[in-house]
């Protein structure tokens, strides 16, 4: 705990913590996208429901994973916002005007909008969990029977949600924000964790961009496909 407090107080420590928490959040996104893509297995969403049920059946293990995820999210958001506020305080007049240094600093729209895209994602995640995990915006929770066992019909919830053009547009916007945030975030995490020397910078930037594009397009595919096809 003392070392966490010390890390939070030094600017290098804060960068390293944002990098580490960010990398774990990206791993979560990769696993989450892989799970979500089971929606498109040729069994009308049965695999997706089974996958969700498998996770729920993990019981206390799932709670521990969820608590770790919440801590990672909050820590990442807290440090990210505090880095942004400190930087803004250090150059109050024309923070928004500062120009790209080129080379390793890689300043661009993605890097300058990290705080904004990060806050959008934070708000999204709260609404998204209420939406799909707790079905807060559905009139009822649907169930289905698979192999004689009653399980939550998450496929039906997801398909129903993405029949609404406004939900699809909102998800499209947020999935693009995921891409913009990760485009700078993944690269920045590598650099903060000491992976960057001038030779590797371009390679790491390309890797960050590829990860961002694949995750963003992968998530984007789901609402758009379901809306256009009326189902999975
Ligand atoms: C089209 C894209 C997405 C779909 C269809 C989707 C679907 C779902 C569903 C159905 C659940 C509930 C799972 C359950 O109750 O077992 C869920 C949970 C969750 N999703 Fe997504 N998701 C999408 C994108 C995202 C994105 C981009 C993020 C993060 C930026 C995200 C973060 C989460 C989190 C944190 C949970 C809670 C996990 C847990 O508590 O176990 N999702 N998602």
Mean pLDDT by 10 residues, the chain (232 residues): 75 89 97 98 96 95 97 95 85 53 62 91 97 94 93 96 98 97 93 78 91 98 98 94
Considering the domain boundaries, does residue 180 fall inside one? yes
Considering the domain boundaries, does residue 16 fall inside one? yes
Domain assignment of residue 222, given as a range: 2-89+111-229
What pLDDT is attached to residue 145? 94
Considering the domain boundaries, does residue 210 fall inside one? yes
Considering the domain boundaries, does residue 42 fall inside one? yes
Considering the domain boundaries, does residue 134 fall inside one? yes
Going from the Cα of 14 to the center of ligand 1, the distance in angstroms, rounded, reads 27
Considering the domain boundaries, does residue 140 fall inside one? yes
Ligand 1 atom, smallest distance to 69 CA: 35
For residue 188 and ligand 1, the question of a CB distance below 6 A is answered with no
What pLDDT is attached to residue 6? 76
What pLDDT is attached to residue 98? 47
Q: What are 58's two structure tokens? A: 């993990």
Question: With b meaning 16 or more CB within 10 Å and e meaning fewer, what string describes 33-71?
Answer: beebbbbeeeeebbbbbbbbeeeeeeeeeeeeeeeeeee
Report how far apart, in Å, the C-alpha atoms of 63 and of each of 31, 67, 132 are: 17, 6, 17
What pLDDT is attached to residue 106? 62
Q: How far apart are CA 207 and CA 73, in angstroms?
A: 23
Q: Is the pTM of this model over 0.85?
A: yes
For residue 220 and ligand 1, the question of a CB distance below 6 A is answered with no
Ligand 1 atom, smallest distance to 220 CA: 1
Give the chain's domain count: 1
For every residue of the chain, which 3-state class applies, written as one string?
A: CHHHHHHHHCHHHHHHHHHHHHHHHHHHHHHHHHHHHHHHCCCCCHHHHHHHHHHHHCCHHHHHHHHHHHHHHHHHHHHHHHHHHHHHHHCCCCHHHCCCCCHHHCCCHHHHCHHHHHHHHHHHHHHHHHHHHCCCCCCCCCEEEECCEEEECHHHHHHHHCCCHHHHHHHHHHHHHHHHHHHHHHHHHHHHCCCCCHHHHHHHHHHHHHHHHHHHHHHHHHHHHHHHHCCC
Shortest-distance Cα residue to atom 14 of ligand 1? 133
Neighbours of 192 (CB within 10 A): 19
Going from the Cα of 1 to the center of ligand 1, the distance in angstroms, rounded, reads 30
Going from the Cα of 191 to the center of ligand 1, the distance in angstroms, rounded, reads 28
Considering the domain boundaries, does residue 22 fall inside one? yes
Considering the domain boundaries, does residue 104 fall inside one? no
What pLDDT is attached to residue 105? 55
CATH, residue 221: 1.20.1300.10
């Amino acid at each position: 705990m003392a070392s966490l407090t010390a890390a939070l107080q030094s600017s290098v420590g804060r960068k390293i913590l944002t990098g580490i928490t960010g990398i774990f959040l990206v791993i979560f996104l990769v696993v989450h996208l892989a799970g979500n893509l089971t929606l498109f297995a040729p069994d009308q969403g049965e695999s997706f429901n089974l996958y969700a049920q498998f996770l729920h059946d993990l019981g206390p293990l799932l709670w521990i994973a969820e608590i770790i995820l919440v801590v990672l999210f909050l820590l990442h958001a807290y440090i990210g916002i505090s880095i942004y506020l400190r930087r803004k305080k250090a150059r109050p007049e024309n923070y928004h005007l500062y120009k790209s240094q080129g080379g390793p600093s890689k300043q661009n729209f993605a890097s300058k909008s990290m705080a904004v895209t990060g806050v959008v994602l934070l708000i999204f995640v709260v609404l998204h969990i209420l939406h799909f995990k707790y079905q807060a915006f559905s009139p009822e929770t649907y169930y289905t029977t698979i192999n004689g066992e009653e399980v939550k019909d998450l496929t039906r919830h997801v398909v129903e949600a993405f029949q609404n053009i406004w939900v699809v547009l909102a998800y499209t916007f947020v999935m693009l924000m995921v891409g913009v945030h990760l485009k700078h975030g993944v690269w920045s995490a590598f650099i903060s964790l000491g992976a960057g020397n001038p030779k590797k910078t371009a390679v790491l930037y390309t890797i960050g961009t590829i990860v961002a594009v694949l995750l963003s397009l992968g998530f984007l595919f789901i609402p758009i496909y379901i809306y256009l096809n009326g189902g999975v």
